[in-house]
Each structure stands twice: as structure tokens, then as C-alpha cells.
Amino acid sequence: MQESPLERLIQEPGPGREMADRDTLDRLQKRLGAAAEQARLLDVGYTVVETPVGKLLLAATHAGLVRVAFDCEDHDAVLALLAERISPRILAAPDRLQAAAAQITEYFDGTRRTFDLPLDLRLTAGFRRSVVEHLRDIGYGSTATYSAVAALAGSPGAVRAVGTACALNPLPVVVPCHRVVRSDGSTGGYRGGPAAKRLLLNLEAAA
């Protein structure tokens, strides 16, 4: 009996075989994630969204969005850390992240200025958490200096600590640490890199 093209693709090595394997694995992961979600066995679900600043990994617990990660952070390393710090029961679950993915897309399309999502801030604590919570007070298209955020967080002299809190913000884009700039007007550092920070600031300035 003559082999079908699909059978040959499965048996033969090469790029086509690798792509078929990846597609099959993606489908299986999604089915497994959906089944785990339905059975309440999934502690952390994630998906990846294409954006103008590259692929963003979105991860959520039952409490809310817990992590947004840039490509440059190495998504596999981020998932491994989430498994270690939150739970090893972590799978691709795009349904759980549907609202977050849609709002991220709307933001980059210029049709959304604020995010309306439940957030899980367990990955930050103490003064850093206070800073992250105050970042949401910086409005779309506006900026604040590191020193101004330090004052808002109740520690006017903790400018460097604010910089560290912004650099370690677990929810960049959604919690807008990109709106924090240096007192001389330069953009300063950013978890997603300086180009991503400039893009986000320019996007909001053009709206």
C-alpha cells in the first residue's frame, strides 16, 4: 500500500517533520490544559501573545494575572521559576488568559488606555509591592520620575529601590513601570529593554 503524504511527513526527518511535531505538541498541550482547568487541577495557566515589542508570555493563577514576560527574559526560564515559586501544576491555558490577551492587543492597537484585569501580586512584596501598586496611578500618556514614585510610596529617599522595584515588576505593560523615567528626562532602564520602553512611551504619546 502506498504511503500517504502525511505518513511520509511523520516518518521522514526534516523541517516539515519538526513543524508537524510542534503543532501536534501544541494541540496536545492545549487539550491537556483545558482538561486540567475544567478539573481545577491547574494552578498556573499561560499563553503567548504576539505584540509590537515581541512575544509576551502571560501567566495567571486563579487569583489573576501573575506574570507578563518579554522574549528577552527567556519564557522557558520564566515558566520554570513560576513552577518553583507558585506551583509545578502549570500548563498552556489560552482560555484562562483570553481577556488578558485581548486587552493587551487592544492596548497595542491604541483602543485601550487602562487594563481591567484581576491581578495576583504574590511575586512582589514589601516596599517593592508598594511601588508596583502606585505605578497604576500614573495615567496613560503621562510619566513620573523615580523620585516622585519614591515619594508616593512613602520613602522619598528610596530612589534606587524604586528603580529596582520597576526593574523587577512582574507585570510590565499592564502595570506601567515604563512610565517611570529619570529626572533628566531620559527613559532609564526597563525589563523588556530600552527599545521596548521607548516604543511604549511613543505609543501612548501618539494617542
Residues belonging to the active site:
177
**Alpha-carbon gap, residue 125 to 127, rounded angstroms:** 6
**Alpha-carbon gap, residue 161 to 131, rounded angstroms:** 9
**Alpha-carbon gap, residue 171 to 34, rounded angstroms:** 24
**Alpha-carbon gap, residue 176 to 46, rounded angstroms:** 21
**Alpha-carbon gap, residue 81 to 73, rounded angstroms:** 11
Cell of 135: 505605578
Q: Is 174 within 8 Å of 132 (Cβ atoms)?
A: no
Q: 144 has which bridge partners?
A: 180
DSSP letter for each residue of 123-159: T--HHHHHHHHHHTTS-TT--EEHHHHHHHTT-TT-H
The distance between the two most distant Cα atoms of the chain, rounded to a whole number of Å, is: 78
Distance between alpha carbon 79 and the CA centroid of its chain, in Å?
11
